[in-house]
Chain A
Amino acid sequence: MLWFLTALVLALMGLVYVQAARKAHGFAQQQGVRLHSRPGYHGWYAALWTGVPALIILLVALLLQDRLMTAMVRGGLPAEILALPPERIELFLRQAEALAFGYEDLSTIVFPEAALAAAADHYERLKSLIRGAVLALVAVAAVLGLVMTRRRLAPDLRARPVVERFVNGLLILASAVAVLTTVGIVMSLLFESLRFFQSVSIFEFLFGMKWSPQIALRADQVGQSGAFGAVPLFAGTMLIMVIAMITAAPIGLFSAIYLSEYASKRARDIIKPVLEILAGIPTVVYGFFAALTVGPFVRSVAETMGMSVPNQSALAAGVVMGIMIIPFISSLSDDVINAVPQALRDGAYAMGATQSETVKNVVLPAALPGIVGALLLAVSRAIGETMIVTMAAGQAANLTANPLDQVTTVTVQIVMLLTGDQEFDSPKTLAAFGLGLTLFVATLCLNILALRVVQKYREKYE
């Protein structure tokens, strides 16, 4: 219904545009009349005034109607239903809604049918009421806009500045979406985490040594006490990150040095795209590779040395994550090294330094802040990477520094806690948001730090 109205309003806007533009064109045909704005702008002017208020009303209705209806039905519930626990009331409302609007609802009905039917009836009445109200409002807005602009259309109407101001407003709104996204991320993580920290203390979360998020379903269950000490996850994340960086940093750095200092242009043109392919491969593919090729390989090598190792290990996940990060480090460092002015190199050569001495003693020190920044960004990437560790590192929350053990990371646990069916409000799912907040803060700090390092220590050569 609302979608249909939206389409109708858009069609009306098109019609109004054509009409107004034609009218303005008519003005222009008259002798001695000069239009202030071109006819198209008159068209836009009229169409915007007709359609935009109506569209705003529709958008608000679309976003709010469900919440409004549910709130009002909830207000009108009989006392016997209101006496139920909150999650039962939610279920009741959902079933009433399903009954009213003919959705499929797979849960069996356990409520008194009369009450359910009454609530469903309430839903239907409200819905038709809202429909009527929206229809009336939209019609009034559209007609008002139409009448007003019809009167205003005249050769000297300053349509262009108005339309341009509107367009610029839209542009600003679009840029603000980035800000809104950040705000949304921070608010949602913070809000859900606060609810989590109401049931689990923040100190236990940050410094607790035991992680077993399984909560007893019934009070009499044994051995199932939820423990939310995230230190094993932080340790696992660190371990995998360190393995990844040990793999990626030397390879990435040396590749960058070779590409920017030694390779011929032809070699560079071939090797750079090849490295970029590594960057373009989806992480789930790396995860598959880590789980089914590298993991068993690590295991068989360890077995020939007489160790028993599981298929999933920190080493397999870490090394593959390192491979994934190589192009990240190499392309960032490559840019930084290329930005070092040739004069510095020429100076070193003039002093008799060999090429490698120049690189080691002149180019790298000059590029160091940028390289450190690149490495910090790579660390942030490694911490936030999800699929490789989910598929290849295991789920056991071991507190260990042995790279051949299974470990688990922050991102793995977020996936584990949130996939599958569960109640949204249990501490188990809320814990995922606590972990998400930690992850967000950690990567944010690393990114800001990286930016600072680059800005503060960058040598300026102009």
Chain B
Amino acid sequence: MTDMAASTSSSASTTDRISKSLVKRRRAEKRFRLYGQIAIGFAVAFLLILLGSIVKDGYRAFWMHEIQLNVTVDADRFAPEGQRDEASLRGINYDAIIVQSLRDKLDVENSRTNRKALRDLVSQEFGFVLREKVLADPSLIGQTFSLTAPLDDQADLYFKGEIKRSVAEDNRPLTDRQLDWLDELKSQGQIKSKFNTLLFTRSDSTQPEIAGLWGAIVGSFFTLSVTLLLSVPLAVAAAVYLEEFAPKNKFTDFIEININNLAAVPSIVFGLLGLAVLINFFGMPRSAPIVGGVVLALMVLPTIIISTRASLKAVSPSIRQAALALGASKNQSVFQHVLPLAAPGILTGTIISMAQALGETAPLLMIGMVSFVPSAPESVMAPSTALPVQIYIWENASERSFRDRTAAAIIVLLGFMIVMNLAAVLLRRRFERRW
């Protein structure tokens, strides 16, 4: 009986102990839950900070400041003997004409330092625009006409508030006098801000104010076209074989292990493969989109194979059986029934892989797509850069304006990726079918 009494008293104390510990355990429960929320909060906060800092840096680069000036090509000074041949027209110092018209506008005395300071306010592009205009129509010599061109990147930064008067004169690239001139020009209405179309129509340049992404976009387009044309047929064929035809044996096991391993190989190793095999062994051109495309195709191959297999697997077996029952051969059932039904899924996987390939940088560095290419490539064999590589190149540039442009280029790149991923999501929604 003593046993019984002991056990009741001990059970009472156990309940007691448990109810006491319960407070602690509930607190532990809450804490644990909180850890999870904090972790997710961190991840989301990181994402927001990342995107926020890029937008904060990049939005300015989508605007630019332009200056409009009345220029006079003085016939007596620049073509005293009435020369109109191309060589002497090219030889004219167009920068001097622009400086002259700025001096007239601002009423600045003619000195060497003043000329230099004025010259630095507008883009070198102004001289080229003027020259092209005169070359196209030599009758402009001796006339006064209005011309618009971008401001120099430093002046542009002043109007964007990046260069402040409050900073000591020695610590900023523009002097007080240059700032006064800029303010004066602005108040006269010569300087206007507008959407930066040059960012999309020009290729890379050493002058930040006229550096654009067009060459990189075309380069990425060529590269991805090669990737698409190469990877999709290969990957779909491989997936169809492995999913529908392959017998279960050592060879197919080996292929599957290979595919899974390739999916985890660092992308830079694919770049080394491209360099050693495509460029050095097969003698393909360096820096060319075709090499980049082949390398990226090999890189995304496992991803597309895996997603294609998943969508083939999702097609109901009844489709296959029905086709076979009606007398179709195995090939006919696969190619005429299963594959078309799996196509939306394959397409979705392909688009996502292409977005991944679009953002890939490291392998392209290996095959030399990092060179300075001031024009858009004309073919897949021509030297070129690509969007992510352009970001890398600009990030390395020292000028302050290139930082804004880098962020703007990132926004453009992310824009392309968002569009591709949205397309994939919409396709999935539209065509997804469950059996």
Residues of A near any B CB (own CB < 8 A): 63, 66-67, 160, 164, 167-168, 170-179, 181-182, 184-185, 188-189, 191-192, 250-255, 257-259, 261-262, 271, 274-275, 277-278, 280-289, 291-293, 323, 326-327, 330, 354-357, 359-360, 377, 380-381, 383-387, 390-391, 411, 414-415, 418-419, 424, 432-433, 436, 439-440, 443-444, 447-448, 451
Q: A160-B329, A254-B36 are in contact. Are A284 and B392 (CB under 8 A)?
A: yes
Cβ contact within 8 Å between A258 and B417: no
The answer to whether B277 has its CB under 8 Å from any CB of chain A is: yes
Q: Which residues of A contact B33 (CB under 8 A)?
A: 258, 262, 355-356
Cβ contact within 8 Å between A439 and B266: yes
For chain B, the count of residues having a C-beta within 8 Å of the partner chain is 89
Chain A interface, DSSP helix/strand/loop, else mixed? helix
Cβ contact within 8 Å between B301 and A177: yes
The answer to whether B95 has its CB under 8 Å from any CB of chain A is: no
Taken together as a complex, chains A and B put the C-alpha atoms of A73 and B118 apart, in Å, by 59
Cβ contact within 8 Å between A179 and B258: yes
Q: Which residues of A contact B25 (CB under 8 A)?
A: 354, 357
Taken together as a complex, chains A and B put the C-alpha atoms of A286 and B234 apart, in Å, by 31
Cβ contact within 8 Å between A167 and B331: yes
Q: Smallest CB-CB separation from A414: which chain B residue?
A: B268
Q: Which residues of B contact A444 (CB under 8 A)?
A: 261, 265
Cβ contact within 8 Å between A63 and B282: yes
Partner of B264, one of A253, A254, A259, A443: A443
Cβ contact within 8 Å between A251 and B329: no
Q: A174-B233, A436-B268 are in contact. Are A285 and B259 (CB under 8 A)?
A: no
Q: A179-B254, A414-B268 are in contact. Are A171 and B241 (CB under 8 A)?
A: yes
Most B CB contacts (10 A, CB to CB) among A258, A381, A443 go to A258
Taken together as a complex, chains A and B put the C-alpha atoms of A44 and B21 apart, in Å, by 79
Please tell me which stretch of B6-14, B47-55, B103-111, B183-191 contacts chain A, meaning at least 4 of its Cβ atoms lie within 8 angstroms of it.
B47-55
Q: Smallest CB-CB separation from B263: which chain A residue?
A: A447
Most A CB contacts (10 A, CB to CB) among B43, B280, B358 go to B43
A selection of 13 A-B contacts at a CB cut-off of 8 Å is: A167-B331, A167-B335, A178-B305, A182-B262, A282-B360, A288-B391, A354-B28, A386-B266, A386-B267, A386-B268, A390-B392, A415-B366, A436-B268
Cβ contact within 8 Å between B262 and A254: no
Partner of B272, one of A174, A178, A433: A433
Q: Smallest CB-CB separation from B279: which chain A residue?
A: A424
Please, what's the 1-or-0 string for B23-39, where 1 marks a CB less than 8 Å from any CB in chain A? 00110110111011111
Which 3 residue pairs spanning A and B have beta carbons closest together? A384-B266, A258-B36, A282-B359
Cβ contact within 8 Å between A176 and B255: yes
CB proximity of B352 to chain A, nearest CB, Å:
8
Q: Which residues of B contact A179 (CB under 8 A)?
A: 254-255, 258
Q: Which residues of B contact A326 (CB under 8 A)?
A: 43, 46
The answer to whether B199 has its CB under 8 Å from any CB of chain A is: no
Please tell me which stretch of B119-127, B165-173, B314-322, B403-411 contacts chain A, meaning at least 4 of its Cβ atoms lie within 8 angstroms of it.
B403-411
Q: Smallest CB-CB separation from B421: which chain A residue?
A: A280
Cβ contact within 8 Å between B329 and A178: no
Taken together as a complex, chains A and B put the C-alpha atoms of A444 and B257 apart, in Å, by 11
Most B CB contacts (10 A, CB to CB) among A188, A355, A432 go to A188
Cβ contact within 8 Å between B43 and A170: no
Cβ contact within 8 Å between A174 and B406: no
Taken together as a complex, chains A and B put the C-alpha atoms of A288 and B137 apart, in Å, by 45
The answer to whether B275 has its CB under 8 Å from any CB of chain A is: yes
Q: Smallest CB-CB separation from B390: which chain A residue?
A: A284
Cβ contact within 8 Å between A174 and B238: yes
Please, what's the 1-or-0 string for B287-304, where 1 marks a CB less than 8 Å from any CB in chain A? 000000000001001100
Q: Smallest CB-CB separation from A285: which chain B residue?
A: B410
Cβ contact within 8 Å between A287 and B392: yes
Cβ contact within 8 Å between B259 and A184: no
The answer to whether B92 has its CB under 8 Å from any CB of chain A is: no
Q: A284-B391, A387-B392 are in contact. Are A174 and B241 (CB under 8 A)?
A: yes
Q: Smallest CB-CB separation from B44: which chain A residue?
A: A274
Taken together as a complex, chains A and B put the C-alpha atoms of A323 and B417 apart, in Å, by 19
Cβ contact within 8 Å between B29 and A164: no
Q: Which residues of A contact B252 (CB under 8 A)?
A: 175
Cβ contact within 8 Å between A411 and B268: yes
Please, what's the 1-or-0 string for B229-240, where 1 marks a CB less than 8 Å from any CB in chain A? 000011101101
Cβ contact within 8 Å between A177 and B234: yes
Cβ contact within 8 Å between A258 and B39: yes
The answer to whether B69 has its CB under 8 Å from any CB of chain A is: no
Q: Smallest CB-CB separation from B56: which chain A residue?
A: A293
Q: A174-B237, A178-B301, A323-B50 are in contact. Are A391 and B392 (CB under 8 A)?
A: yes
Taken together as a complex, chains A and B put the C-alpha atoms of A121 and B270 apart, in Å, by 38
Cβ contact within 8 Å between A380 and B264: yes
Most B CB contacts (10 A, CB to CB) among A175, A185, A191, A288 go to A175
Cβ contact within 8 Å between A254 and B301: no
Q: Which residues of B contact A255 (CB under 8 A)?
A: 36, 39-40, 43
Cβ contact within 8 Å between A178 and B255: yes
